[in-house]
Every structure is written in structure tokens, then in C-alpha cells.
A and B are shown apart, each in its own frame.
Chain A
Amino acid sequence: MTAHDAKRLQEAEGSPPGIDWNAVYADQLPRVYNYFRFRAARSHDVEELTARTFEKAWRARAKYRRDLAGFSTWLFAIARNVMTDQLRADALRTRAATWSEPIEQVTPEGNAMHGSDMERLATLTAGLADRHKELIALKYGAALSNRMIARVTGLSESNVGTTLQRTVERLRARW
């Protein structure tokens, strides 16, 4: 799609002027993808959940008329809803306890090291509360700031910081 086409589509969909949706996609995709990697588990689930989130958000983006920071909060609210829906399904509920690593496009060495890290993390976090896992996924998967996490979760910023610090310390002590 050319830039001209993108602009026309944007105008037709009533999007706020000045928002480059291609740039938004490029910026947000790794965040959402890694959020689900930290939360979900298997590669195909992660891709499915990421796609579902973006489809929901893209379908309704014309209605979104606020700033881009707000858009990110909104996008992660959708991502969390998608994750919740998935967790409600019994099939994934059991898988969510074990984090594993997608195997595409990595070297065997990197994959082995990365996979073992993820398995180790899964073991360490198995005993954590779901809320703590969520904060870890938003912070280290989605790379959100504490302020953004506070906006997404409805917690206070200081509460997010304190909870994350304690959780990371517990994980590092056992890493």
C-alpha cells in the first residue's frame, strides 16, 4: 500500500489526522507480541492472540479520536481482554502455566539458550499470582512504563512499581 493509499484509507475511515497507522503498527506489534509471549505460551497461540488483538483494534480505530499514548493504553486493554477470553477456555488454561519459546527464525544455539531461559522463567513464576504475571508481561513483554501499566491496569503507579520490584527481586534471587 502506498503512502497515498494509506492517507486516503485513513481519511475514509475518519481517523484522526496525522496518525501514521503503519508506524503505529510497527511500534505496537512487538509490544503486543511479546506481551502474549510472556502471558500465553506457545508460538501459534501467541500469533493467534496478537492477530485477534490487532483485528479488534483496527476495526474500531476510526472511533478512536484521542492521542496515541491513549491508543496504546486502549490497545493493551483489548489485548488483556483477548488474553482473558483465552484463559477462560480450559484448553489454554493449563498451557498458560508453562511458558515455552517459539522456535521460528532463531539459531539452534540461540533457541536453546532462549528456550531454556523461558522454561526457567516459567518454573520460577509458576507460583506467582496471576496479577504479578500480568505486570511482568506488561513491563518486560510489552515494554510499557510503570505509568502506562498503571493506566492499563487501573492500579496506582506506585503500586505497580512496588509490586514489580518485589516480583523481580524474587525472580532474580532464584534465577
Chain B
Amino acid sequence: MDDQFLHRLRRDPPAGFATRLKWQLDQPAAARPSRVRLLLVFAIFGTAFALVSPPVRRVLGDLFAHTPVQSTDLLQLPPPSVPGVYREAESAPGTVSPRHEALIPQAAAPQAETLPTSREVSRAAQPAPDAQPVAAPAVKSNFVIAPITSSGPQPPQQQAAAAVATRQGLFKVLGFLMAPLSLMRQQHLPVNMDVAGVSANRLADLSSLVPEVFQKDTRPFVVETRALDIIWMQPEDFEAKSGALTLAADALDGAVASRDEGAALKAIDQIQMACRGCHDVYRKN
């Protein structure tokens, strides 16, 4: 095949461009964070900043608070029909003066043991006692506001719970992106290259976050998770398996680019195999 006329069209890249690009690539990776990471960082810090600012806390407090009850009204509260709920309000430090404390039915104390563990945790996270807020023992608001307004670093147990929630959120999104691809593969949906392309791009971006969200080792904590301990025992293999998902998603994007339906379906198979390969080893069935 005489194709020299095509070979002759190749050119070397300009030297200046090659040098400039090499210099950029040699910069430390931390100097070039991805857009997704930047957005996540801004979202996390923005939310944290908003929650600690007084106006926002006040608005949230107003939003969730019941009609304020004066301290004198506390004496007239009817006996609690749901003991656990009142126990939560009564036991919050500083919400009841010593004089009122004496009026609380003694029978309420043992019922506290029936409270769920998470409530115990959120109570432990509350700030130091303060005598001033006695006037607003808004019963329901204690449940909602306490975790939001608690300041200072989270206890390790809460950090672990937050890490699990983040992980599960990421996998929910990955599942959401996989759903149309699986339906196309099973021929429940016609193959739509545009949808597949969008899903592939997003899967490739988000799957790169998987090793990051597992950086917090939650093995020592009691959390509801299907993640197996082996993840933190062989992190390199776990990272390689998540990398396989990224590569498979890239392959799907390539297939979509060439508008090759057969290759796209093969690439979806690869994605599913990458998911399964990781789940078989690192997830409880």
C-alpha cells in the first residue's frame, strides 16, 4: 500500500511547546488539583463556614425551633408521653436549672438507657454547659440543632460515621450513572451513544475519588458498612481495582467517540467486570 504521501505529513512538535509542556508536567501534582476535587473542597469548607456563622445558626435555630417555652412554663409541662424524647431535652446540659431539675420525675432516669447509641454520641458532642439558654428548652430542636451547632472537632466516632456516609454517597452516584448503561447492555434500552458518553465521562471522573474516600480507616469503629477490612490491609490492590474502573470508563468514552456500538457494549461489560472484580473482594455480599 503506497501511503508515503500520508507519512510525509507528520511533523515534530515545536521545541518551545515541548519544553513548556514538560516543565508543566514536572510540577508537583498537588499544584494541579482536579476541578472535581476543588469543587468538593469549596463545597465542604463553604458549608462548614456557613454553619458556624451566627446568622446562619440563628436562621436554622428559628427554622427548627418549637414555640419557645419560658423557664417558668417548664413547671407546667404535662408528664412526658414519650419518655425518651423528654429525657433528651432534660438531660441536655444547662437547659434546666437546678431548681427545675428537682421537679423532674425520677422515673425518667432509667429510661435513658433505652436511647439509641447515636443519640448518646450527639449528646456527647454538645458544648459546655451554659446557664443562659434555660429559657428555650425547645424540645424538638435539641435533636436537630445539636449536631449542627456543635463546634470544635468531631469525635472520632462521628468522623467515622461521616466517612462512611461520604463513601456510600459516592457509590450511590456511581450506581446512578451505571443504571442506564446496564439497561443498554441488557437490551432493556436502545443504545444511546450520547447518554453513554456522558455517563462514561462522569464515571471516569468520580471513580478516581474512590481511593480518597476510603482513606479514613473505619475498622476500629462501629459503623454500618459493607466495606471489608481487607481494603485497608492491601490498599494498593484496592486502588488498582478502582483504577480499572476509571480505565474501563475511559474505554467506553473512546468507543462512544468512534460511534461503534459493539465496542461500547464491550466497554460496558468491562465496566461491570471492574465493579464486580472489586466488590467480590472488598465488599460484604
Which residues of A approach B to under 8 Å, CB–CB?
1, 9, 13-14, 25, 29-30, 33-34, 37-38, 47, 50-51, 54-55, 58-60, 63-65, 74, 77-78, 80-81, 83-85, 102, 104-106, 114, 117-118, 121, 130-131, 134, 136, 139-141, 143, 152-155, 165, 168-169, 171-172, 175
Contacts and interface: CB of A to CB of B under 8 A. Distances in A.
Nearest to B251: A77
Given A58-B25, A141-B10, A175-B5, A154 B32 contact: no
20 contacts: A29-B21, A33-B12, A34-B10, A37-B9, A38-B9, A60-B243, A63-B240, A74-B250, A80-B254, A114-B11, A117-B5, A121-B9, A139-B6, A140-B3, A140-B9, A153-B258, A155-B260, A168-B1, A168-B3, A168-B6
Nearest to A104: B14
Nearest to B7: A140
Contacts of B3: 140, 168, 172
A105 B15 contact: yes
Given A58-B25, A118-B9, A175-B5, A81 B201 contact: yes
Interface string B219-262: 00000000000000000100110010011001101111111101
B104 to A, nearest CB: 59
Nearest to A85: B201
Q: Is the interface of A mostly helix, strand, loop or mixed?
A: helix
Contact of A114 (B1, B9, B239): B9
A136 B21 contact: no
B254 A77 contact: yes
A30 B8 CA distance: 14
B259 A172 contact: no
B267 interface: yes
Contacts of B202: none
Contacts of B12: 30, 33
10 smallest CB-CB distances across A and B, nearest first, come from: A154-B263, A84-B257, A63-B243, A33-B13, A140-B6, A81-B253, A77-B250, A77-B254, A58-B25, A80-B254
Contacts of B10: 30, 34, 140-141, 143
A106 B5 CA distance: 19
Contacts of A114: 9, 11
A77 B247 CA distance: 9
Given A59-B29, A134-B258, A155-B260, A50 B2 contact: no
A172 B5 contact: yes
B112 to A, nearest CB: 50
A155 B257 CA distance: 13
B254 A153 contact: yes
A54 B25 CA distance: 8
Name the residue among B12, B25, B204 with the largest chain A CB count within 10 angstroms. B25
B9 A54 contact: no
Contacts of A131: 258-260
A50 B21 contact: yes
A154 B258 contact: yes
A64 B243 contact: yes
Contacts of A47: 13-14, 17, 21
A139 B9 CA distance: 12
B14 A154 contact: no
B197 interface: yes
Nearest to B265: A154
A84 B13 contact: no
Given A34-B11, A77-B250, A25 B25 contact: yes
B266 interface: yes
Nearest to B236: A14
Given A50-B13, A154-B251, A154-B255, A25 B22 contact: yes
A29 B24 CA distance: 14
